[in-house]
Chains A and B, each alone.
Chain A
Amino acid sequence: MKRKLGDLTGRIGDSLDIPKDLSYRESVLTLTGSRELFIENYRCIRRYQDTCILLLSKENKIQIEGTKLMIVYYTDVEMKITGNICKILFL
């Protein structure tokens, strides 16, 4: 039911040309090469190790794999990660 409501608001947003991160409440990932990742609209941290970070977003899980991963800063809505990023998975 909740998912259907989300889809509906998303479609309304599409018809009004509202960006998808607002209409579908999707996460926005900004990747700079393989050394810096900026994530907006995530919900919480599920796991944090220096080789893997697992985040929950509204729709799915985002898994970031790499080495020497460091969270430069984070707040309840955004996070900046640096290190050698190898993989980003949507689970």
Chain B
Amino acid sequence: MGKWEFYRKGYVRLRFWGENPERFLNLCAYHKIPVWKLISIDKAYEMNTTVEGFRRLGGICRKSRVKVKIIGKYGLPFFFYRNKKRKAFFLGFFLGLGLLFLLSGHIWNIHVEGNVYNSTQMILNYLEELDVRHGALKKDLDCAYIAARMREEFPDITWVSVKISGSRLILEIKENGALEEPEEEETAPLDLTARTTGTIVSMVTRRGTPLKKQGDTCTAGEILVSGRLDIKNDSGEIIGYEYTQADGDIYIRHDLEYYQEFSMDYEKPVYTGEKKKGILFQLGGWYLQLKGKSPRESYDRVTSLCQIKLTENFKLPVYYGTVTEYVYEKQTFIYSREEARQKAEENLGRLLESLEEKGVQISGNHVKIGIQGKTCTARGTLTVIEKNEQKTLTEILEQPTERNRQKDE
């Protein structure tokens, strides 16, 4: 019988002494009463025996003239007996065990690894569509089915492994980043037309019939490269049309009007240094703010929130954080002439930078900054060179009838 068995059934520690303790021990062995941890202390002995064994000791004690005293009771039956008044403790213990058993049947952490192009949130959202979410029952999940659906939904995922480990659902993903979606080819014939009026600086035609050349001027909406190809016979007469999607790179130089004005006086918040801190709790759409009343009406509020996470990706709709209100006063300032000019130049510089980021070349800047009374004005034109064609549908003409065929008819 193992230690756990003795503990489960309960055992006692005895002290015995008398005339024939050795005979007592031999009789115990003869009657197969389990005895362990036997020690000799002075003229007495101490040993452990089971509850059942202790009940059979009566006759043996009498025969060997030994007296027995219980010095300790151990094991589950004695533990329950001693704690029989602590019902809430046992209730809590078994409730905890039950809860652990119940909760261990669910998924509490979804771990996604190996994804670069598809974000974890995107994958979690899709899993939610498949009813795979935090708290889902483990027995309801089919890993092979989830993996197959993942491969269908995300074509750039080349390999998926889904496995359940404890209360975790682990998705290992390998992606093919070079995969490109096939472009749908449009079959409708297209012309390239000018988006703005200007001068053609450079023109490279890859497909279609060019109607303009480098150095020509064009107006907005004018066809630059036609998607219609004229088929001519030996005598130069048009005998038919073929259509294609015109393609090419056309750079047009044109002017952009620039105008900006702003007032010389402006309002700016000046922080007084006074601030008020508070604590904020958010549960779904409900807020609880533990903060005193704001001292002024004008303040900037900075809120810092943290979301409570049970596991790596299992986020509860519960937030906590702090709210800080910085009190300010609005004051009016006036730009000096230098400051105003600098501000106007900064604004223009930002615009030019954004144009260059879009691939627009600035070939001329004719913006002048002037200050009249309480207004600063920047006006003028910017000469830019940009890829400026747009695609429009080609007009489909009726195919010319052949003269011979007309004669036959």
State the Cβ distance, B404 to closest chain A Cβ, in Å.
119
The one of A45, A47, A50 that contacts B39, using a Cβ cutoff of 8 Å: A50
**Does residue B22 face the partner (Cβ distance < 8 Å to A)?**
yes
Whether B22 and A46, one on each chain, are in contact in the complex, defined by CB atoms closer than 8 angstroms, is yes
Whether A48 and B37, one on each chain, are in contact in the complex, defined by CB atoms closer than 8 angstroms, is no
Query: In chain B between 12 and 43, which residues have their CB closer than 8 angstroms to a CB of chain A?
Result: 21-22, 25-26, 29-30, 32, 34-41
Query: In chain A between 58 and 74, which residues have their CB closer than 8 angstroms to a CB of chain B?
Result: 69-74
Whether B35 and A48, one on each chain, are in contact in the complex, defined by CB atoms closer than 8 angstroms, is no
**Does residue A76 face the partner (Cβ distance < 8 Å to B)?**
yes
State the Cβ distance, A9 to closest chain B Cβ, in Å.
25
Whether A73 and B32, one on each chain, are in contact in the complex, defined by CB atoms closer than 8 angstroms, is no
Whether B26 and A50, one on each chain, are in contact in the complex, defined by CB atoms closer than 8 angstroms, is no
Whether A44 and B39, one on each chain, are in contact in the complex, defined by CB atoms closer than 8 angstroms, is no
Q: Which residues of B contact A71 (CB under 8 A)?
A: 35, 38-39
Q: How far is the CA of A49 from the CA of B43 in the complex (A)?
A: 9
State the Cβ distance, A48 to closest chain B Cβ, in Å.
6
Query: In chain B between 79 and 132, which residues have their CB closer than 8 angstroms to a CB of chain A?
Result: none
Given contacts A44-B26, A48-B21, contact A75 B32 (CB under 8 A): yes
State the Cβ distance, B34 to closest chain A Cβ, in Å.
8
Interface residues on A, range: 10 to 19
State the Cβ distance, A71 to closest chain B Cβ, in Å.
4
Q: Which residues of B contact A46 (CB under 8 A)?
A: 22
Whether A45 and B36, one on each chain, are in contact in the complex, defined by CB atoms closer than 8 angstroms, is no
Given contacts A74-B35, A75-B29, contact A45 B41 (CB under 8 A): no
The one of A48, A49, A70 that contacts B25, using a Cβ cutoff of 8 Å: A48
Interface residues on B, range: 10 to 19
Q: How far is the CA of A48 from the CA of B38 in the complex (A)?
A: 10
Whether A50 and B40, one on each chain, are in contact in the complex, defined by CB atoms closer than 8 angstroms, is yes
Query: In chain A between 40 and 55, which residues have their CB closer than 8 angstroms to a CB of chain B?
Result: 44-50
Q: Which residues of A contact B314 (CB under 8 A)?
A: none
Q: Which residues of A contact B39 (CB under 8 A)?
A: 50, 70-71
Whether B37 and A45, one on each chain, are in contact in the complex, defined by CB atoms closer than 8 angstroms, is no
Whether B22 and A45, one on each chain, are in contact in the complex, defined by CB atoms closer than 8 angstroms, is yes
**Does residue B281 face the partner (Cβ distance < 8 Å to A)?**
no
State the Cβ distance, A90 to closest chain B Cβ, in Å.
19
Q: Which residues of A contact B37 (CB under 8 A)?
A: 70, 72-73
Q: Which residues of B contact A44 (CB under 8 A)?
A: 22, 26, 29
Q: How far is the CA of A70 from the CA of B34 in the complex (A)?
A: 16
Q: Which residues of B contact A75 (CB under 8 A)?
A: 29, 32
Whether A45 and B40, one on each chain, are in contact in the complex, defined by CB atoms closer than 8 angstroms, is no
Q: Which residues of B contact A45 (CB under 8 A)?
A: 22, 25-26, 29
Q: How far is the CA of A70 from the CA of B39 in the complex (A)?
A: 5
Whether B29 and A76, one on each chain, are in contact in the complex, defined by CB atoms closer than 8 angstroms, is yes
Query: In chain B between 36 and 81, which residues have their CB closer than 8 angstroms to a CB of chain A?
Result: 36-41, 45
Q: How far is the CA of A73 from the CA of B32 in the complex (A)?
A: 12
Further pairs besides A49-B40, A75-B29: 17, Cβ < 8 Å: A45-B25, A46-B22, A47-B22, A48-B21, A48-B22, A48-B40, A70-B37, A70-B39, A71-B35, A72-B36, A72-B37, A72-B38, A73-B35, A73-B37, A76-B29, A76-B30, A76-B32
- CB within 8 Å of A: which residues of B? 21-22, 25-26, 29-30, 32, 34-41, 45
Q: Can you give 15 A-B contacts (C-beta < 8 A)?
A: A44-B22, A44-B26, A45-B25, A45-B26, A45-B29, A47-B22, A48-B21, A50-B41, A69-B40, A70-B39, A71-B35, A73-B36, A73-B37, A73-B38, A75-B32
